[in-house]
Amino acid sequence: GGRTLFVSQAAVGDVLNVRVDRDQGRVAHASIVEVVTPGPTRIQPPFPRLADCGADFQHLTYEAQLAAKQAIIADCMKRIAGIELLATVPIIPSPEEWHYRVRAEWRHDPRAEVLGYLRQGSHDVVDISDDPLVLPELNEAYQSLHLRLSTGELPDWATEIRGAAGADGVSLAPPLDGDGPRPVTLEVGGEAYTFDADCFFQVNLGVLDLLVDEALKFAPLPGDLLSPATRKAIDLYSGVGLFTLPLARRFEQVIGVEAQPRAAEFARQNATDAGLDNVRIEALPVERWLEHAYRTHGRVPFVLLDPPRTGLPAPAIRGLLRMRPQRIAYVSCDPATLARDVKTLLGSGYELLDLTAIDMFPQTHHVETVAHLERIG
C-alpha cells in the first residue's frame, strides 16, 4: 500500500512473516516472526545471543554488511543532508570480522547473577560466557570476570565494568583489585598512545592506521615548508591524542580540546613522550572552548573533529563557524548526525570534498565515516 516497513535483522531477498511493533502511519517498524525463504546474503548468526545486544548484522555475509553500510551513508546524505552522491561511498573493510575490539563495556546484574551486554532498548543483561567481539587478551579478562561471577566473587557494586587492551596488558575500570585503572599502551601509525579503561579510544586497532591517514588526507605533509596553511590545527574531542600527535608533525601548533580530564592528561603525557612541544591540550567541553576561540585563534587552516554519536551540539557548530576554518575533517560514528551537521556546514559556506567509510564495527550496523570539507571563497 505504498507504506515503508523497516524490518529489524532482515536481509536483502528475504521472504518473511513479520509482526508490526510500531506503526507511524506511512512508516512502520517490524520484527521477524519467521524466515520463509532466506535471501542470498543471509547466513546463520554465529553468536545469536548477541543479536539483540548490538551485533545486529551478524546474520549477513561480510560483503553484505559492507554494502548495507554504504547504503546507510548514502541514504542519510540524501534524506538528511539533501546530497545525492554520484558514486558509492568507498568503504575500508576491517581485517578482522570478530575479536577486533580493544575496548568494551560489560554490564553485571548481581540480582540475576549475569554478566554480558545490555539487550537493546532495555535494562536486561544478556549473559555470555565469553566475548567474541573483543581482542583475545581482553576476552581472557572477561572470562576471568565471568568465573568470579560463578564463584560469587564479583562484587555487587561492580555493575558496569569497562575493559581496554594494550600491547602491555589489560586495564579494567573500576579496578576490582588495586588502586586505579592500569594504564596500557598501543601503537598507531608509529605513535605510542597510553590510556586506560576510563578513557575513550577508537575500538578497532586493525583499521586505526587507515583512519588516521584518511582523517589527515588533506592536511599538509610532515616536513612541508612553513606557510599560512601549516600555522595551526585544532583537534576537537581529541581524547588521548589519536589525531593530535600526527597533526603536531604537520603543523606549527596544535590545540587539542577534550572535556574528560583524565583523557586530557593522557593526551598531554602522550605528546610529551613523543617529544612534541607544539601541542596544547585544553580540558574543556568543546562548545565552551569554542565560545570565544575565534577571537584568539582567528581563521585556522585546519580543524579536525571526532564528536560522540550525537554529533556537534548547536553551540559547538556555531562556534566552529565563527572560526571560519579553511578545511574541516569530520570523523563520525553516526551517518545521520554527520549528515545533519554537513547540511549545516554546506549552508554556511563549505563544500564537501570527500567522503570515505571505514568498517570500525563489524557485525553491527554502525560505521565510521570521514568527511572532508573546504571553505568556498
Annotated catalytic residues are: 333
Angle subtended by helix axes 335-346 and 62-79, to nearest 10: 30
Please list the residues that pair with 35 across neighbouring strands.
Answer: 16
Mapping DSSP to helix (H, G, I), strand (E, B) and coil, where does residue 374 land? strand
* Pairing mode, strands 302-305 and 350-358: unpaired
Q: Which position has the grid cell 567474541? A: 132
Q: Which residue has the cell 596553511?
A: 229
User: What single letter denotes the amino acid at residue 153?
Assistant: E
φ, ψ (nearest 5 deg) of residue 239: 60, -135
Are the C-beta atoms of residues 309 and 283 closer than 8 Å to each other? no
C-beta of residue 374 within 8 angstroms of C-beta of residue 350: yes
Strand 232-236 with 302-305, pairing? parallel
Supply φ then ψ for residue 158, to 5 degrees.
-85, 75
- Set of cell numbers at residue 123: 535494562
* Contact present, 369 and 338 (Cβ < 8 Å): yes
Interacting residues of 226 by C-beta distance below 8 A, sequence separation 6+: 252
Q: Are 234 and 297 in contact (CB under 8 A)?
A: yes
Residue for cell digits 574541516?
328
Report helix, strand or coil for 375: strand
